[in-house]
Amino acid sequence: MMHKETLCIMARSLPPLSALRAFEVAARHLSFTRAAEELGMTQAAVSYQIKLLEERVGAPLFLRGRRQVTLTPGGSRFAAECTSSFERLSAAYADLCGSAAGLLAISSVPTFASYWLARHLGSFQLQHPATAVQLTSTRHITDFEREPVDIAIRAGTGHWPGLTAHLLVAVDYAPMLSPSLAARLGGMPASAADLLRFPLVNTTHEWWDLWFSMMGVEQAGSDRRNGPTLGSQDLEAMAAIAGQGVSLLTPFFYAEEVAAGRLVQPFEPLYPIGRGYYLVYPTARRAVPKIRAFRDWMLGHFPTSSHPEAR
């Protein structure tokens, strides 16, 4: 039989959860006022909970100035651990809930959603019939802390604090157009300079200048016969397919359109813009089964991607 002293040593020594929560939120915002707003408490109540925690610790966690508070070195170290612990606890709780476990909410930029994900998502559903997938196509950047989204496809450089990002496709551009547009304007362009006789979609964008420069084309004094100005690649692709102009597109997405004769890529060179489409999710939730399942399935389609978390 264990002695009472042994049981006391084995027991966890933790302060009240309410005090830890108040401290973590105040440390994240460096503001008792903003912490009170997030927690739905009064500023005095937040201050009391933090004071209670400091008394338990036996040392101050904040340095209180006239108009702001800052963390002490010990408070800063403890805050990082608290935030990480609450994130793991939140992830575990979400996964425990039956409704969360059975629904995988995905947010994707429109181009990737329309030209790849929607066309392949059925195979994931066949492999994981117990998981219902909800796909949202949006240009809005998901806030994982405030929105019920499990995983996202983003366009960018791959650097988002708190998120794990796996590169799927590099955003490399090449001009693409419909055969019908070429037929109306005297045939396919024979050279990069020949493109200047075609209407170009989004000619105000810098990528056109950079692509022409890469191809050694001097544009000074040329009439680029502007086509429509649109807000995203999926719309630019639709304009090109409809014969409205030549669009700079990422050819990876349009293999089916090329095979069907709806689009043509007249020049092979691609301009790399240093961005890509990434699979992203909160690092704290990387072990959640439904996220692991979707990540592994997705990266199986992009074997050249680096995905150390897939182990």
Please report whether residue 1 resides in a domain: no
CATH of the domain at 89: 1.10.10.10
- Whether 51 and 170 map to the same domain: the answer is no
**Domain with 240 in it:** 97-311
- Whether 77 and 225 map to the same domain: the answer is no
Please report whether residue 8 resides in a domain: no
- Whether 106 and 82 map to the same domain: the answer is no
The predicted structure's pLDDT at residue 303:
67
- Whether 37 and 130 map to the same domain: the answer is no
Length of the chain (residues): 311
Which amino acid, 118? A
Q: Which residues are CB-neighbours of 192 under 8 A, at least 6 positions away?
A: 212, 215, 216, 217, 267
Please report whether residue 2 resides in a domain: no
Please report whether residue 119 resides in a domain: yes
Question: What does the pLDDT profile of the chain (311 residues) look like in tens digits?
Answer: 455 444 444 456 788 889 999 999 999 999 999 999 989 999 999 999 999 999 999 999 999 888 889 999 999 999 999 988 888 888 777 666 644 557 899 999 999 999 999 999 999 999 998 888 999 999 888 888 888 899 999 999 999 999 999 999 998 999 999 999 999 998 999 999 999 889 999 887 788 888 998 999 877 555 555 677 787 888 999 999 999 999 999 999 999 999 999 999 999 888 888 889 999 999 988 888 899 999 999 999 986 654 444 32
- Whether 74 and 131 map to the same domain: the answer is no
- Whether 74 and 189 map to the same domain: the answer is no
- Whether 90 and 197 map to the same domain: the answer is no
The predicted structure's pLDDT at residue 89:
85
- Whether 283 and 143 map to the same domain: the answer is yes
- Whether 122 and 222 map to the same domain: the answer is yes
Q: Which residues are CB-neighbours of 284 under 8 A, at least 6 positions away?
A: 84, 87, 88, 90, 91, 162
What is the number of domains present in the chain?
A: 2
Domain boundary among 33, 67, 96: 96
- Whether 85 and 101 map to the same domain: the answer is no
The predicted structure's pLDDT at residue 14:
80
Please report whether residue 6 resides in a domain: no
Domain boundary among 96, 116, 144: 96
Domain boundary among 73, 96, 119: 96
CATH of the domain at 253: 3.40.190.290
- Whether 202 and 70 map to the same domain: the answer is no
Please report whether residue 200 resides in a domain: yes
The predicted structure's pLDDT at residue 307:
44
Please report whether residue 76 resides in a domain: yes
Q: What is the pTM of this model?
A: 0.64
Please report whether residue 287 resides in a domain: yes
- Whether 165 and 47 map to the same domain: the answer is no
The predicted structure's pLDDT at residue 311:
28
